[in-house]
Structure 1
Amino acid sequence: MSLLIFAALVLLCVLTIFRHVKSSNSPLPPGPRNLSLIGNTLHMPIGREWITFAQWAKKYGDIMHLSVLGRSIIVLSSPKTISDLLDKRSTIYSDRPVLTMAGTLVGYDRVIPLEPYTPRHRQGRKLMQSAISPRTQPVLQASISSQMIHFLPRLVDSPAHFRQHTRWLVDSIVFQITYAYNISGHDDPLVQLADRVNRDFGRPIAPAAFLVDIFPSLRHIPDWFPGAGFKAIARDMRRTYLDMRDRQYDRIRAEVAHGTAKPSLVTTLIEGNPNPTPEEDDLYRNVVASVYGAGSDTSVSALESFFLIMSRFPHVQKAAQAEIDAVVGRGRLPTFGDRERLPYVDALIKEIYRWNPVVPMSLPHRLMQDDVYEGYHIPAGATVIGNSWAILHDPDLYPDPFDVVPERYLMKQDGERNPDPRAFAFGYGRRVCPGQIIADDTLFLFVASILATFDVGPPLGANGRPHAQEDVAYTAELISHPGPFDCTITPRSADVEKLLATLSVVADAA
């Protein structure tokens, strides 16, 4: 078996090298020196590759070529290269690489973010954009506001569980929008199921996490063959995903048939086409699952970063609270209508996106045909990745990039403001995240509401005094979360507690 794998590897590399030589007289983009057969495989970083790639970009440039077992990877590390290729040439840069484990075996290539660039994908995006658009934004904002009123009292009751409450909030918003489903707590079976899908999703997406991604033909080996354990893992992940995708969808379809369905994204899809073909039905189910996947774990990461930032940069918190007090006052909660009058809070939100981006490396694109850019040959089939982290920590674009400085978007530095990081936080080209509206609105109301009602500070030591925190490392997963950390969360006044208690009672009665 090992000899067959080695022979296949050698043949693959030789064919790839031959194809590169034959297809273009232009050189490949620069990159680390590679070995003739395995390329840069031994150089590839394990975890937090965005940091290593950013360091390499300083030496090799904003467009860099890597070869991993005969496969070309192009890393883009500047706004210009990303705009020129992923945006302006999006017609040929919008495909996704074939992911054997995640796609072929588990089935994640049916969800909109990972689906190949086909007419089905474009139809799915249109459905998502019709459900999440400026036209539907008032309805989406109403769902966010109603769940926020239930969330804030939870922080009063058990502030130490802020991360669990944060995930409950995001799940409750997304499930309300997609399924008109109200979740009572984090132990809700549907929430547990969805969280498991989120955890599963990151494993097979990681580069070369499974040998079958390097040698796709291994998917044909018998289940009993040594080394075929990945097939059992794939089946388990697939069952979990399909259970999450179908359970509530089937419930609502039955309710639509009986005329008892509440308004939701699923209800709209089913009522708009009550007799779909099997292919249409599969598309609708995956569109709904994509809405959850696009807006859940990513939003949780951003909200967690807010707590960490507030506990480490108290002067930023005080400035934002002063603005909220001046605009909103102390007798009510902030609303979406206040956003235009809260420029500092809006600038703080931009820093949350930038300081540690939720997705440090964009989901990979796949080049659909040979291309030449600035004299460099980019071969068809190359995996093209935008290093968002590198851009958002470029000191030429964002001075003092490891500090949180909302003022960078308000005051001119060297003649112009720093770029809006949202241009690099939600993907690129025709693959930009269609759930951006929900994510941005959720983050705004979360930040403004917390700042209006609570003080967030560093953890307290045994003597009751705040103590300095060690640096918190972010996880090295596709969706990067802050590692374990503590903070204090206390109501700003007794009046705040009364306000939240009153609002909660009113919300429960409604």
Structure 2
Amino acid sequence: MALLLSFSPAVLGIAVVAVLLIFLLFRKPKLPPGVKRLPGPKGIPILGSVPDLPAKHSWLQFYAWTKQYGPICQVQLGPDTCVLVASPKVAEDLLVKRAAKYSGRVHFPAIWGDCATDGHYLPLMTNCADQKRIKNFTRKLTSSLPRAHLSKVASEQTKIFVLKLLEDPLNFGTLLERCCGGISSTIAWDRTSPEVAKATVSTSLGLLEVISPEAIQNKLPFLEKIPLWVPDFLQPWRVKEIGRVTRERDFWFGQRAQARARIEEEKGEYSWTRESLKDGTLEEEEKAYTVGMMTLIASVLESSPIQGLVVALCMFPEWQKRGQEEVDLVCGDRMPMAEDIQKLPVVRALIREIFRWRSPVPFGVPHMLTEDDIYEGYHIAKGSVVFALECAMSRDEALYPDAENFRPERWLDPLYPTYKEPLTHHPQLKNNSSFGWGKRQCLGLDYSEIVHVTIVATMLWSCNIQKKVDEKTGLEIELPWMDYSPFVIVKPNPTPLDIKPRDERRIKLLSSV
């Protein structure tokens, strides 16, 4: 008592308020009768289990928690209650059958504005009337895209990509991103250029940075509340983000204006911009952002699994050979086309297996629960962030024997539980949980299949991917098994490998068309 009295009233008051705030923020709410809390790590006051997360590959810790506590468990990460789902059945029960409750989205403090409601980024919007309008508009655009036109654009950009890849194999990741950015920007605005493709990728990477756990505002969300009158030099993160959204807006609106001018002159081919002018359900700004967002998704997200497959084909040359043999048999001396998809089950198995083995979204895209729920006797609180963990579900040994290894045969051999017939149809990207669950499933699955198969089949048809030889030692440089970026959408970090032409005649064919 004497010690307490020795402090000034102001200090005591601050201490009391601090203790009260901690109590109110981190106390466990009383549960309704007859239910229990989800199992999970206890964590520590205020931080929860944040100290247990590694600097890299934190999704593996999420996976470890599900192995320890079960297919649905709960972890506290600072003020956020996170529900981790490692079972396809549980994900189906919650995110599909109870989609009305589980289709919310989280707020990212690092993004300027409220991404959950402002309509700029459809995948980040919470479930609301505006989200439904923009989603319906997006569905119309994706369904209007002629398959033949997408196939033509994908082939043209893939030719450019392969020729650059043979000149600069160490930058295969950047080249793949620009290839996919070139495809999506052509479809969006009816034409592209190396500069437009590069800018499309830049907008993608910029958004990935601010939705990643590494962004300082996401780590310290109170920074978002700093008043605007505070000098810029005291909040460089805000200056950087305002610059990002300004460049993004100028780019998307500038491309839309140029596309509209060509349309008014009756120039250009099919484009999402041309189709958008026929729709009256969205304002002009909403249309510009929606088309821009579609180019963004279709650049880095499309390229990420193919980047992983390039590394896998180098690590597993026997599967590279099987893919090459299939493409040679089907295509001969002509470049692969989208029309070949049904005849290329090995190529599709390679793509489907890389989605499983190295998912581009190992966390899954987080959903937010919009009202309290009870599942199998467990209470799940409103505001909980729900992760359908791809990194866990894709390693279910019952469905994926030898899950830690790259085994494309699991999609081609009747001895495996994942095998389905006919092989003219299976395996496929559709119904792949990497593309989301329930009402939040990606709308571009047909687009993705054509782009992925065109790029992968053409690489197999034209290139040999092999380990790079160290000039000093003469030995092959071993490749890392799990050297991936820390973003929400992950991709291999720059990896030393070598890519050579399989047949000079085929390279000349790509150059001459």
What's the TM-score once normalised by structure 1's chain length?
Answer: 0.87
Q: Which residue in the other structure is 1:507 paired with?
A: none
Bigger drift between 311-320 and 144-153 goes to: 144-153
Residue 380 in 1 paired to residue 382 in 2? yes
Q: Which of 247, 251, 254 does residue 247 from structure 1 map onto?
A: 254
Instruction: State the Cα deviation string for residues 128-148 of structure 1 (Å, max 9, x = none).
Output: 222223863332222212322
Q: Secondary structure, in 3 states, of the residue corresponding to 1:377?
A: strand
Instruction: State the Cα deviation string for residues 34-76 of structure 1 (Å, max 9, x = none).
Output: 3354433433444322100111111101111112334311111
Q: Which residue in the other structure is 1:315 paired with?
A: 318
Q: Which residue in the other structure is 1:301 paired with?
A: 304
User: What letter corresponds to residue 476 of structure 2 in structure 1?
Assistant: H
Instruction: State the Cα deviation string for residues 373-394 of structure 1 (Å, max 9, x = none).
Output: 1111011111111111111133
Q: Which residue in the other structure is 2:151 paired with?
A: 141
Report if the CA contact (8 A) 1:111-1:289 is conserved. no
Instruction: State the Cα deviation string for residues 182-211 of structure 1 (Å, max 9, x = none).
Output: 21x3xx1x3443333223212321247335
Q: Which residue in the other structure is 2:275 paired with?
A: 268
Instruction: In structure 2, list runs of 5 or more residues that go unmatched.
Output: 1-10, 421-426
Instruction: State the Cα deviation string for residues 359-415 of structure 1 (Å, max 9, x = none).
Output: 111221111111001111011111111111111133332222232211111113366
Alpha-carbon distance between aligned partners in 1 of 2:155 and 2:100, rounded to the nearest angstrom: 38
Q: Secondary structure, in 3 states, of the residue corresponding to 1:64?
A: strand
User: What letter corresponds to residue 450 of structure 2 in structure 1?
Assistant: D
Report if the CA contact (8 A) 2:256-2:273 is conserved. yes
Bigger drift between 112-121 and 433-442 goes to: 433-442
Q: 1:378 to 1:4 in 2, by over 3 A?
A: farther
Structure 1 residue 426: deviation in Å?
1.1
Residue 429 in 1 paired to residue 438 in 2? yes
Report if the CA contact (8 A) 2:122-2:135 is conserved. yes
Q: Which residue in the other structure is 2:424 paired with?
A: none
Report if the CA contact (8 A) 1:222-1:228 is conserved. no
Q: Secondary structure, in 3 states, of the residue corresponding to 2:76?
A: strand
Report if the CA contact (8 A) 1:77-1:388 is conserved. yes
Q: 1:115 to 1:468 in 2, by over 3 A?
A: same
Q: Which residue in the other structure is 1:68 paired with?
A: 77
Q: Which residue in the other structure is 1:115 paired with?
A: 125
Q: Which of 357, 361, 364 does residue 363 from structure 2 map onto?
A: 361
User: What letter corresponds to residue 151 of structure 1 in structure 2?
Assistant: F
User: What letter corresponds to residue 270 of structure 1 in structure 2?
Assistant: L
Alignment of 1:318-467 (within 5 A): 318-329=321-332, 331-413=333-415, 417=419, 423-462=432-471, 467=476
Q: Secondary structure, in 3 states, of the residue corresponding to 1:101?
A: coil
Alignment of 1:168-317 (within 5 A): 168-183=178-193, 185=194, 188=195, 190-207=196-213, 209-211=215-217, 214-215=221-222, 218-220=225-227, 222-224=229-231, 228-260=235-267, 262-273=269-280, 280-317=283-320
Alpha-carbon distance between aligned partners in 2 of 1:150 and 1:289, rounded to the nearest angstrom: 23
Report if the CA contact (8 A) 2:400-2:418 is conserved. no
What's the TM-score once normalised by structure 2's chain length?
Answer: 0.87
Bigger drift between 148-157 and 473-482 goes to: 148-157
Residue 474 in 1 paired to residue 484 in 2? yes
User: What letter corresponds to residue 291 of structure 1 in structure 2?
Assistant: M
Alpha-carbon distance between aligned partners in 2 of 1:105 and 1:462, rounded to the nearest angstrom: 52
User: What letter corresponds to residue 324 of structure 1 in structure 2?
Assistant: V
Residue 162 in 1 paired to residue 172 in 2? yes
Q: Which residue in the other structure is 1:484 paired with?
A: 494
Report if the CA contact (8 A) 1:103-1:110 is conserved. no
Report if the CA contact (8 A) 1:256-1:271 is conserved. no
Bigger drift between 153-162 and 87-96 goes to: 153-162
Report if the CA contact (8 A) 1:105-1:234 is conserved. no
Alpha-carbon distance between aligned partners in 2 of 1:502 and 1:211, rounded to the nearest angstrom: 50
Bigger drift between 115-124 and 21-30 goes to: 21-30
Q: Secondary structure, in 3 states, of the residue corresponding to 1:125?
A: helix
Q: Secondary structure, in 3 states, of the residue corresponding to 1:133?
A: helix
Alpha-carbon distance between aligned partners in 1 of 2:21 and 2:188, rounded to the nearest angstrom: 48
Q: 1:192 to 1:140 in 2, by over 3 A?
A: closer
Q: 1:105 to 1:297 in 2, by over 3 A?
A: same
Q: Which residue in the other structure is 2:5 paired with?
A: none
Q: Which residue in the other structure is 1:506 paired with?
A: none
Alpha-carbon distance between aligned partners in 1 of 2:19 and 2:293, rounded to the nearest angstrom: 35
Report if the CA contact (8 A) 1:454-1:491 is conserved. yes
User: What letter corresponds to residue 393 of structure 1 in structure 2?
Assistant: R
Q: Which residue in the other structure is 1:57 paired with?
A: 66
Report if the CA contact (8 A) 1:112-1:125 is conserved. yes
Instruction: State the Cα deviation string for residues 392-451 of structure 1 (Å, max 9, x = none).
Output: 133332222232211111113366639977622112211112223222221111111111
> How much is the aligned-residue C-alpha RMSD, in angstroms?
3.0
Q: Identity of paired residues, percent?
A: 24
Alpha-carbon distance between aligned partners in 2 of 1:163 and 1:447, rounded to the nearest angstrom: 14
Alpha-carbon distance between aligned partners in 2 of 1:258 and 1:133, rounded to the nearest angstrom: 25
Q: Secondary structure, in 3 states, of the residue corresponding to 2:122?
A: coil
Bigger drift between 457-466 and 142-151 goes to: 457-466
Bigger drift between 6-15 and 396-405 goes to: 6-15
Alpha-carbon distance between aligned partners in 1 of 2:338 and 2:90, rounded to the nearest angstrom: 35
